[in-house]
């Protein structure tokens, strides 16, 4: 399994990038968010990858951020969501936006992505929201600086962010040590983004 690629970008087009590593050009299906995040053609870049093996094809998908890769894996595990639909969703939305929409039960928002109708959007929201059903939305705030994990989950935007991060596969124990220095008054998407950045720097 190819975990990542680190090399020179030799070609890009909508939803595709080719990275040359060791003289071999690897074609990766990707999102428009990743395309926008990558440097120009001819420059070096690193992407996280996921290989999809089917009877009729082997496809390599690449992502600029680990969170985008994780969200892609969660999406493609849902019946009816293939690589094409997952890439369309992650081209229209960031992982943070998908997580917030799902945790809020806003399936209609997901229909903005190409190829995602009402029924499929509802299935995605339902199956991903199962990941947050054990996250309690109530409790007293106890997130302190210095990376101390709280015993309970706070109300407000921190709680919403914890629920949304659970959609992306992170438990409260995984993320709360990284939330101590984050302003709880920030928008939910910003809290999620800052938490993921902190995790990535570990």
| Greater pLDDT, 2 or 42 | 42
Query: Which pLDDT belongs to residue 131?
Result: 63
Backbone angles phi, psi at 29, to 5 degrees: -70, 140
Query: Which pLDDT belongs to residue 148?
Result: 37
Beta-bridged to residue 52, according to DSSP, are 59
pLDDT digits (tens, 9 = 90+) for 152-188: 344 578 888 888 888 777 888 888 888 888 888 888 8
Range with the poorest average pLDDT among 62-66, 68-72, 101-105: 101-105
As a three-state string, the secondary structure of 123-177 is HHHHHHHHHHCCCCCCCCCCCECCCECCCCCCCCHHHHHHHHHHHCCCCHHHHHH
Query: Which pLDDT belongs to residue 130?
Result: 74
CB within 8 A of 24, min separation 6: which ones? none
All domains in the chain, ordered by first residue: 4-63 (2.40.50.140), 67-131 (1.10.150.20)
Structural contact between residues 80 and 46, judged by C-beta atoms closer than 8 angstroms? no
pLDDT digits (tens, 9 = 90+) for 74-98: 999 998 899 999 999 999 999 889 9
- Residue 139 CB neighbour total at 10 angstroms: 13
Q: Half-sphere exposure of residue 108, counting CA atoms within 13 Å on the CB side?
A: 0
Q: Rounded to an integer, what distance in angstroms lies between the CA atom of residue 100 and that of residue 9?
A: 32
| Greater pLDDT, 66 or 116 | 116
Q: Rounded to an integer, what distance in angstroms lies between the CA atom of residue 120 and that of residue 152?
A: 34
Beta-bridged to residue 148, according to DSSP, are 144
């Amino acid at each position: 399994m190819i975990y990542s690629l680190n090399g020179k970008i030799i070609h890009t087009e909508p939803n595709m990038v080719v990275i040359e590593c060791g003289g071999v050009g690897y074609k990766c299906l990707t999102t428009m968010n990743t395309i926008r995040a990558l440097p120009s053609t001819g420059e070096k870049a690193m992407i996280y990858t996921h290989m999809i093996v089917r009877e009729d094809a082997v496809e390599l998908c690449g992502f600029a951020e680990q969170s985008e890769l994780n969200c892609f894996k969660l999406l493609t595990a849902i019946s009816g969501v293939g690589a094409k639909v997952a890439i369309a969703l992650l081209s229209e939305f960031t992982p943070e936006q998908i997580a917030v929409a799902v945790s809020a039960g806003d399936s209609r928002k997901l229909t903005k992505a190409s190829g995602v109708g009402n029924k499929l959007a509802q299935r995605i929201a339902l199956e991903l929201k199962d990941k947050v059903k054990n996250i309690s939305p109530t409790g007293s705030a106890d997130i302190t600086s210095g990376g101390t994990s709280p015993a309970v989950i706070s109300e407000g935007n921190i709680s919403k962010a914890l629920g949304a991060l659970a959609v992306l596969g992170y438990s409260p124990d995984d993320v709360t040590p990284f939330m101590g220095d984050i302003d709880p008054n920030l928008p939910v998407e910003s809290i999620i983004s800052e938490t993921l950045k902190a995790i990535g720097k570990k």
